[in-house]
Chains A and B, each alone.
Chain A
Amino acid sequence: MASAIIVDGLEKSYGTKKAVNCISFNVNQGEIFSLLGPNGAGKTTTVEILEGLRERDAGRIEVLGMDPWRQGYELHKRIGVIPQGFSFFDKQKPVEAIQYYAELFGVKVSAQKILEKVILEEAADTVFEDLSGGQRQKLGLALALVNDPEVLFLDEPTTGLDPQARRNLWNVIQGLKEGGRTVLLTTHYLEEAELLADKVAIMNHGEIMTSGTPEEIVSKYGSGKKIVIKGGEGVYSAIVRSGISGAFRNDNGEVSVPVRDRRDIISLVTSIESAGVTWGDIRTEEDSLEDVFVKLVGGTMDEGELRSKGVREGNSP
């Protein structure tokens, strides 16, 4: 499949601060690609360089086969952008804003249709300053769609929205993919990346820790499937005695055992049974993208938001 975006060895510093440290990734045409990382990871810097708004220090980049910094004027006709913290002129209505963009791009559009696409018809005549946070972001999306772009850059489109507005916007973003558009989405909401993206790159301190489909990332960095058994000391020692390795006693009276094969489960249960100890519920468990993220970034999850522990501690995978 053809690449819509190619990033190879991209670097960018602000003074002595290295914001982006030699990152590489490809985004295929028609794909939703998510840069997932906590604040300050370097997502916006990366995206702005790809949009041709910032000059890079080093590396090769291509968006739709163009160099964004040198061919920005041509590129801008073919991309759509919601900048981080999008805002518009206070006294303009969405219809007027869309008309403005259409005239700037020299295209004929039906404002009504675009508003329908982003589910904003009900606020068509509300001036920007009176729109809700979610409606504002939808207007941003509407404006990004005016020139019928091939690539969309959405920089934290749902940050600061309430859960319902966020879910609402997710529906809209999912709808965009149907048109075959390529979308580069940055977010610090794990759920958002997991739900919307075909591919995810986890970014921290200017570096990409890993990338791939969410499943690929989990299977690569996750600890694999585990069996978790309720039971105390007796269960644990029975497992150890039977020669099964890697058993681990949790604080909450559970024992977890990594499994590589389905038959491991049978030998495990047999060994506990034959030891004659009492055991409770048994279930299987697998690392989530969240577990992987916490492992890779050394961060925490806070109400669905990724937070990096300490900003300057070097976190190499």
Chain B
Amino acid sequence: MNLKRVYADFKVYRREYLRNRLGLFFALAFPVIFILLFGAIFSGAGSSSVAVYVQNLDANSNVSAAFIQSLNSTGVLNVKVVDISGNLSNYLLSHSLSNGIVIPRGFASDYENGKSVNVTVYTDPADSTSGIVLGAVSGVINGFNLKRVGASPVVGLNSATVNAHSTKYIDFLVPGLIGFSILTSPMFSMVNVTAEYKKFKRFKQLSLTPLTKGEWLVSKVIWYTILSFAAFVLMVFFGTAVFGANLRLSLIIIPFLIAGPTLFISLGMLVGIVTKSIESAGVIGNIITFPMMFLSGTFFPISTMPHFLQLVARFLPLYYVIAGLNDVMVFSNISTAYYNLAVTVAIAAVIFVLAARLFKWKEK
């Protein structure tokens, strides 16, 4: 390995890449556009309160006011009192809202007289928040019942989230889009580069110089590693500065930013090598890249996907890169990060060896 030759080849590749602009767009501009777009669209998600629309037919009573107050102080519900004369369920329907509560007329007097009275809760079973609403409302009702008979609760509740801090969508989006860049920029260009070099006999031509196959490969690994670091810095910057993402950084991220690009350089080369034309290489490349792009936790956390797709994801190399980055940056779970790193490195090694084997400078 002659580092001067690696550097000479690196300079030419970098120049070609920067002057082409398209590659740079995929590697850096695309993820930035995505983080701004998705970050803005979903910035509300992840905050844990659920909007509930309350129609109070027992207005001006202390009890109904206290009931609403209690709903609010659960912290899970974001209570919005609507002042309408008509039917609440029609109102919800016509405004595309899922959750509503009707406090009936005479609620206060029935409560004080110990007469049974029902609060009506509207939920949409198809909406994942319905359970939260039902649970929170029945909790409040329980409290009121206990108070009415003068009892105090025996079993209390200490609330805590699984994480030390609560995670938001943007926290997942940052590692996801770093993964996106690690996947797409080497894949799209290496598929093309390999097929094109083959067609225009560039590999043959290079084999007439002292540059070796290994040196050529290393220069590509260096370039895409630099791009993945750049994508990392950009995503972390926009994530935290614009959307207040809460991320942890650790040195163990670095091997992901090297092994990841190496994996997808090799995979891209493999596609370019085994296909017959530039066109078919592009098609096969897309068939591999696109599902991986959507199913590996790039735009949405894997845990929000159906069970079946979560299983599929485990067969996609990008899954381990993003899972590992999530382990470090979102969950601070270094031991599982090591596991995901090991899987990433193992896949990268296998594909790298395969590509390097099949990749011929010369023909027989």
Contacts and interface: CB of A to CB of B under 8 A. Distances in A.
Interface in B179-238: 200-202, 204-205, 207-211
Nearest to B21: A91
Task: Summarize B's interface: helix, strand, loop or mixed.
Answer: helix
A118 to B, nearest CB: 17
Contacts of B83: none
Interface in A71-103: 72-73, 76-77, 79, 81, 83, 85-87, 89-92, 96, 100-101, 103
A100 B11 contact: yes
Of B9, B12, B15, the most chain A CB neighbours within 10 A belong to B12
Interface residues of B, number: 25
Contact of A85 (B4, B201, B208, B364): B201
15 contacts: A48-B204, A52-B362, A53-B204, A53-B363, A72-B207, A85-B201, A87-B200, A89-B16, A89-B202, A90-B16, A92-B12, A100-B11, A104-B9, A104-B210, A106-B210
A121 B204 CA distance: 27
B354 interface: no
Contacts of A85: 200-201
Task: Summarize A's interface: helix, strand, loop or mixed.
Answer: loop
Contacts of A100: 8-9, 11-12
A54 interface: yes
A150 interface: no
B241 to A, nearest CB: 34
Contacts, number: 68
Contacts of B19: 91, 127
A106 B4 contact: yes
A89 B202 CA distance: 9
Interface of B: 2, 4-5, 7-9, 11-12, 15-16, 19-20, 200-202, 204-205, 207-211, 362-364
Contacts of A77: 210
Interface in A243-271: none
A91 B23 CA distance: 13
Contacts of A73: 210
Contacts of B209: 76, 101, 104-105
A91 B210 contact: no
Of A48, A89, A92, A96, the most chain B CB neighbours within 10 A belong to A89
A105 B20 CA distance: 26
**3 smallest A-B Cβ distances: which pairs?**
A103-B8, A91-B19, A104-B209
